[in-house]
Amino acid sequence: MISHAVREIANNLAHYLGLAEGIDLPASVGVNEPAQDLAAAWRLEMATPREAHGFTEGPDGTIRGADLLVSPRVVATIEAVVRAAVTVEASTARRRAYVAVGNESAVNNPTAKLLGETWEYFVARAHLDRATKAGRVVEEELRTHFARFETIVSARIGSFFAVNQELSDILEITNTRRLLAPPDPEPTLDTE
């Protein structure tokens, strides 16, 4: 649950910080649609028996053949998946840099890299079925990564909330004084 919450905050924070600061970050790109297109193209390609393509199925379920020939459509969908994956990586790095230090081009900044490592920790553990690949969730590790995430995000946006609180305090004092002050006398017309 914690991993899901941090993942959602991290994934959306860059967008909303950008809106507040007048920065238009590009929409996040996913690989799901290109991967689904690839799966559909592959199913269509493999609709004919594998032997007709000169393939055999290996004992581990892999498709084997002297030369694996596929249609241009399959090659195009493979390229689309690869392009999407590269775009996702670059976009995610820019978003992390923006959240960490307020500069989307600072992807090599140590704080941006640290946020990236922390972000990946939570993303890898957001789904229990996938978390086993990332390793068992250890409470102390979770606390450490959460504290790191909180520190980086607080350093970036904490001043915003401090200024908002100061402004709220000033407004409250000003409005209280206005309510307690005697009303201004009615203006009079000079008859001279």
pLDDT at 134: 58
Tens of pLDDT, residues 46-101: 676 666 666 666 666 666 665 666 677 778 888 888 888 888 888 888 888 888 88
pLDDT for the residue numbered 110: 92
- Whether the pLDDT of residue 153 is over 90: the answer is no
| Percentage of the chain lying above the pLDDT 70 cut | 67
The predicted model scores a pTM of 0.58
Q: Please report, as a single letter, which amino acid is at residue 90.
A: A
pLDDT at 113 over 90: yes
Whole-number Å distance between alpha carbons of 55 and 62: 10
Question: Which DSSP state fits 188?
Answer: -
Residue given tokens 């976009």 in the structure block = 91
Collect all residues with Cβ–Cβ distance below 8 Å to 74 and sequence separation of at least 6.
38, 41, 42, 45
pLDDT band, residue 111 (cuts 50/70/90): very high
Strand partners, 63: 57
Check: CB of residue 99 under 8 Å from CB of residue 14: yes
Ramachandran angles phi, psi of 53, nearest 5°: -90, -5
Instruction: Pick from 14-23, 95-104, 136-145 the range whose average pLDDT is largest.
Output: 95-104
* Tokens, residue 75: 């090659």
